[in-house]
Amino acid sequence: MKTSTTVAQDLGTWQEEQALDAACCRLLANKIILAHILQGCLPEYSRCSIQELLPCLESTPAVCSVAVDQDVPDPGRIRGENTADKTMTEGNVTFDILFSARIPNGKESRQIFINVESQENWTPGYPLLKRAAYYCARLISRQKGIVFQHSDYQKLQKVYSLWVCLDPPRSMQNTLTSFHMTEEQLVGQAKYDKMNYDMMSMIMIGLGQPDKRQDDIIHLLSVLLSTEMDPDEKKQILEREYDIPMTVEMKEEAETMCGIGHAIARKNLEEGMQKGMQKGRQEGKLEGRQMEREANILGMLREKIPMETISRITHYSLDQIQKLGKLHGLL
């Protein structure tokens, strides 16, 4: 059972991690940052300039402004606070960031629903990809009553769930991986329109230490979300390399992330040192017991007590007792 002190420490760590997640989400939810994410990760926007892409954000069909059958907020809003998707039949799931974006091809009716998640824990007790798949399924199912009515499935829009992994294992760092639906001809060569089946995609972004050799979007996010880099240095890199003006609010969030990150690092270091000291004390006690036991064995050898008797008393083997006696000139 945990002591009250341990519980308080765990609660403090959890609160710090929650504050770190909130600051991370607020940074990611800036339109200019989301525009770079779309440009760097989604093929629909890869050929757009940031200036062309920005007007596509928050452009939502009128039907999305009215909640029908689902108690949900407008998915067209971009905000750092959590956006909950609640229905009477499907339970409750929370998105970090949820918004819609118009596809820049002149067709006003086409849009994409996008979920962005910041994930600090790579091993939360389940595969992250399965959670991402579940989020995509919810983004699909929630469109009934918002995007289309009854059986008007032709109006169904594509969805993305993007996961920004802050601390992945080394093998997953500096990686950008997409998972999507594809066709496979098992018999014959039937061809289907990709727009009708490629309706959901999951994208995993594994960050690493900020490095100029990284892909642009990975480098941008690694700099933006670093808990070690000085906020002023972040500001210089974002403005110089990406033409992203860091607002007062963005700088405050960056400072919050650095402060919390340093606090968590200090706490982890102190816990590591404390555990090391405890281990040292335990090892010292074991060493002390061993020295005391060997001193007793040497005393019994001096008293000419048979080695078999010494072995039964001390649980040392005859070979160990003989070596110890020879080492001290008693045998």
**Total domain count, the chain:** 2
Residue 273 in any domain: the answer is no
Q: Based on the fold, state whether residues 124 and 236 are members of the same structural domain.
A: yes
pLDDT at 8 over 50: no
pLDDT of residue 19: 74
Tokens 């007590």 label which residue? Answer: 305
Q: Based on the fold, state whether residues 238 and 303 are members of the same structural domain.
A: no
Q: Based on the fold, state whether residues 247 and 200 are members of the same structural domain.
A: yes
Q: Based on the fold, state whether residues 70 and 132 are members of the same structural domain.
A: yes
Report the mean per-residue pLDDT for the chain: 78
Q: Based on the fold, state whether residues 114 and 239 are members of the same structural domain.
A: yes
pLDDT tens digits for range 262-275: 454 454 455 555 55
Q: How far apart, in whole angstroms, are the C-alpha atoms of residue 32 and residue 16? A: 27
The range of the structural domain enclosing residue 318 comes to 278-327
pLDDT tens digits for range 63-108: 222 222 344 444 333 443 345 554 444 445 578 888 889 887 655 5
Q: Based on the fold, state whether residues 214 and 292 are members of the same structural domain.
A: no
User: Hey, what are 200's tokens?
Assistant: 């959901």
Q: Based on the fold, state whether residues 160 and 226 are members of the same structural domain.
A: yes
Q: Based on the fold, state whether residues 48 and 193 are members of the same structural domain.
A: yes
Q: Based on the fold, state whether residues 223 and 314 are members of the same structural domain.
A: no
Q: What size, in residues, is the chain?
A: 331
In order of 131, 196, 276, the CA distances from 162 in angstroms are 11, 21, 39
Beta-carbon count within 10 A of 37 CB:
22
Q: Based on the fold, state whether residues 262 and 282 are members of the same structural domain.
A: no
- CA-closest candidate to residue 50, choices 64, 30, 70, 75: 30
Q: Where is the domain boundary, 219, 235, 267?
A: 267
pLDDT at 155 over 70: yes
Confidence grade of residue 171 (pLDDT, cut at 50, 70, 90)? very high
Percent of the chain with pLDDT over 90: 34
What is the dihedral angle through the alpha carbons of 225, 173, 163, 244, rounded to the nearest 10 degrees?
A: 40
Q: Based on the fold, state whether residues 241 and 287 are members of the same structural domain.
A: no
Q: Which amino acid is at 111?
A: Q
